[in-house]
Amino acid sequence: MTALSKHARIAGFLYILASAIGIVRLLYVPRVLFVHGDAAATAGNIAAHEGLFRLGMLCYLVGGVVWLFVPLALYRLLDRVDHDLAAVMVILGSLMQAVLYAINTVTDAAALALARGTPFLASFSEAQRDGLALLCLNLHHHLDVAFAIYAGLWLLPLGLLVYRSRFLPRFLGVWLVAGCLGWLAFCVTGIMWPESADHVFNYAQVLTLGEIATVLWLLIVGARPPRMAAAA
């Protein structure tokens, strides 16, 4: 295995690991515990399944920590292509995103405290606490929407680096840049026209699948040295 392929497979593995951990809070917990538009039912589910909700919080935070190393691993792979562009990729993909994971864990902690009825919140009625808990969860969602701007922007330098690398397929670079546009469209729609955000997200999935295609290529195929790629 060449050094290029080793770096590529490490990056692919870390990407899948971070996604597998983070998906507990991003998809599983909301699907099981949240009832759309019903503050009382949602707060009741959180209080009744506190362990699951706390697990989601932990997975969200740990997934963010693991994600820190994904752009760094890609940096080791792509730094020789363009040092400055690779540095921008790390800033947008690692440093900016990791902070948001930590902040969003705090919104979940607030929602849990309200759902449990912590003693120092006794001055609020149960209905008020349930409403505030749902507000905290909505804030979590809106921060995820804002997060999408960085989820998109970091794909632009990554896509350009992949396109120019000569040891990864160029179509993956084009697909990653298209994915950048898809995430940005979702972010803008989620802020300006939130009622249409889900529709835009569904359409944008075709573009953002370039990330998954790239990760699978890195993990399974690796990276071919330029001469081997040219021969192929």
Residue 230 has pLDDT above 60, yes or no: no
DSSP string, 155-206: HHHHHHHHHHHSSS-HHHHHHHHHHHHHHHHHHHHHHH-GGGHHHHHHHHHH
Alpha carbons 27 and 42: distance in angstroms, whole number: 15
**Within-domain flag for 22:** yes
pLDDT at 174: 96
pLDDT digits (tens, 9 = 90+) for 78-97: 999 999 999 999 999 988 78
Q: What whole-number distance in Å separates Cα of residue 189 and Cα of residue 187?
A: 5
Residue pointed to by tokens 């990760």? 215
CA distance 102 to 88: 22
pLDDT reading at 138 higher than 70: yes
In terms of C-beta density within 10 A (0-12 exposed, 13-18 middle, 19 or more buried), how is residue 140 classed?
buried
Determine the pLDDT at residue 42.
96
Query: Could you tell me if residue 229 is inside a domain?
Result: no
209 pLDDT more than 80: yes
Instruction: Specify the pLDDT at position 232.
Output: 42
Tell whether the model's pLDDT for residue 40 goes beyond 50.
yes
- Average pLDDT over the chain reads 91
3-state secondary structure 195-227: HHHHHHHHHHHHHHHHHHHHHHHHHHHCCCCHH
pLDDT tens sequence across 119-135: 888 889 999 999 999 99
Q: What is the pLDDT of residues 144-183, one digit of tens each?
A: 999 999 999 999 999 999 999 989 999 999 999 999 999 9
CA 77 – CA 215 distance, rounded (Å)? 13
Write down the pLDDT at residue 4: 80
Residue 231 has what pLDDT? 42
Over residues 190-212, mean pLDDT: 91
In a domain, 232, yes or no: no
Whether residue 194 is contained in a domain is answered as yes
- Residue range of the domain that includes 86: 3-220
Total domain count for the chain? 1
